[in-house]
Chain A
Amino acid sequence: MAAPIGNVVIPGDSFSLMQLKTPDEHKKILLGPGLKEEDTEIKVLRPGILRYRKPGVYWVDCHHKRYVPSKGDSVVGIVNQKVGDMFRVDIGSSEQASLSYLSFEGATKRNRPDVKVGDIVYAKLLVANKDMEPEIVCIDSYGRSSGMGVVRNGGFLFHTSLNLARKLLNPQCVLLKSLGNRFQFEISVGVNGRVWVKAGNDIQTIALVNTVIASEFKDNDQIKEMCKRISKAVSRMEVD
């Protein structure tokens, strides 16, 4: 019996290593989130759908609302506290992340970045380890901001499930493209389920937020249809 790829698995399910390997295709397999190797068995830890990607990556795709940091993730956080030369940033994980004031573009000891408590930052996780405090930075390895940093000038921040955030970032998802055809807006999506949106006016911003939230369980065709309806409704409201 082959491993149940594409099917629902729940904690306690297990299958043997042999079930995962297809004989000649590859030798190594990589286990992603939700799976654990125990002796010769692969155990499922989380309920979700078993996925597979070539050459040998297996993981469980589950529905999350709580973020668990992992290295390299782009997140949206809220600055909560200023401690010495560090900021404490709430990224929705079990511990607040630390952000050094030197990890902004062009920041030096003399030229401090303008960050205040309550600001929203778009950052990348530099350190993410279950035993350590997560650390985020607003620069890439070349010292450039590449889109990261403090998010300013109004807008609206809301929380979604992690699946929806990943869905928005998926290049195959048409939501942001079809919204972009109809509205002018800025959006930053963190894989920690926080999304910041800013459009031309408040009506548009509210409409965008509701569209994003409503798109969680919709497929691409339904999303296109919804965007059409929303843009009509918004233009009618703006006339009034």
Chain B
Amino acid sequence: MASFTVVKKEDLDAELEKGPKCVLRGQTSDLGCLTRQDGSVSLSQGDTTSIAVVYGPAEVRINKEKIDRATVEVIYRPKIGLPRPNHRKQERIMRNTLEAAIAANLHPRSSISVVIQETEDLGSNLSCSINSACLALLDAAVSMNFMVASVTVAIKENSDMILDPTKRDETEAKSVLTYVFDSVNYQILTIVSCGKFSRSEHKKGLTLAREAAKSVFQFYRESMSKKLLMSE
């Protein structure tokens, strides 16, 4: 049975007036959501969702073969239409990030390919894609030196920080920063920035994102425990 909730405009405004949001939106994951792939996950962060699948270590095309390490490929599929240059850029960012995490030297002359299908982009899409890729790699049990977690921070005109911004927050913000951290020392792996921001704002955003990344790693651990202990 469907039900409708009437949301008044005053309530909505009051919700927005509450000030900067300093918690991540709720995360849910469905590991092994597809059966044919080596690893798959459907991850949602708030209303932003994406599906990531992993094949590998699998056969590699001769022209992409690397003699001493596995080739990491990332393919991003947008919700509508064909991949465009901005998606290619996103693929490049994700590939560079994941290459650092995957222990590629253990599987020379093979390919580890990650395919990410955007299913709903309602803010912090790059973070959601990176996190889903990492979870899919965990699901496939690909050897990794560490895990990665990504958090997006939006900086408003009045230099307020919004963690894990929605689409609306992103468009209203003066700048949007996406940080990626490793799971061992919580060091920065990647920063993707857009817009103007001062050094102190960047510093503040970084501290905020780093704290939030710890909760993402906790989420990874819980998801994996749930999956692994099921087969016990």
Name A's B-contacting residues (CB within 8 A). Answer: 8, 10-12, 14, 34, 36, 43, 45-49, 62-66, 68, 94-95, 130-131, 163, 216-217
Which of A45, A64, A65, A217 counts the most chain B CB atoms within 10 A? A65
Instruction: Find out whether the CB atom of B140 lies under 8 angstroms from the CB atom of A66.
Output: yes
**B58 in complex: contacting residue of A10, A63, A94, A216, CB < 8 Å:** A94
CA distance A182 to B140 in the complex (A): 35
Q: Which 9 A-B pairs have the closest CB atoms?
A: A94-B110, A12-B183, A12-B146, A11-B144, A62-B141, A45-B143, A8-B225, A66-B38, A65-B38
Q: How far is the CA of A145 from the CA of B1 in the complex (A)?
A: 63
Q: For the complex, what is the distance from the CA of A192 to the CA of B232, rounded to whole Å?
A: 20
Q: Give every chain B residue within 8 A of A36 (Cβ-Cβ).
A: 103
Interface centre among B108, B146, B184 (most CB of A within 10 A): B146
29 contacts between A and B (CB under 8 A): A8-B224, A10-B138, A11-B138, A11-B144, A11-B145, A11-B183, A12-B184, A43-B145, A45-B143, A45-B145, A46-B144, A47-B141, A48-B141, A49-B228, A49-B229, A62-B141, A63-B139, A63-B227, A63-B231, A64-B140, A64-B141, A65-B37, A66-B38, A68-B107, A94-B58, A94-B110, A94-B111, A95-B59, A163-B231
Is chain A's binding surface mostly helix, strand, loop or mixed?
A: loop
- If A66-B56, A163-B231 touch, whether A45 touches B140 (CB-CB below 8 Å) is no
The answer to whether B57 touches A8, judged by C-beta atoms less than 8 angstroms apart, is no
B95 CB-CB contact with A under 8 Å = no
Q: Which residues of chain B come closer than 8 Å to A14, judged between CB atoms? A: 184
Given contacts A14-B184, A66-B58, A94-B107, 6 further A-B contacts (CB under 8 A): A11-B143, A11-B144, A62-B228, A66-B38, A68-B57, A217-B230
Identify which of residues 28-73 in chain B touch chain A, using a CB-to-CB cut-off of 8 Å. 37-39, 55-60
CB-defined contacts of B220 to chain A, threshold 8 Å: 10
Interface 1/0s, chain B 178-194, versus A by CB < 8 A?
A: 00001110000000000
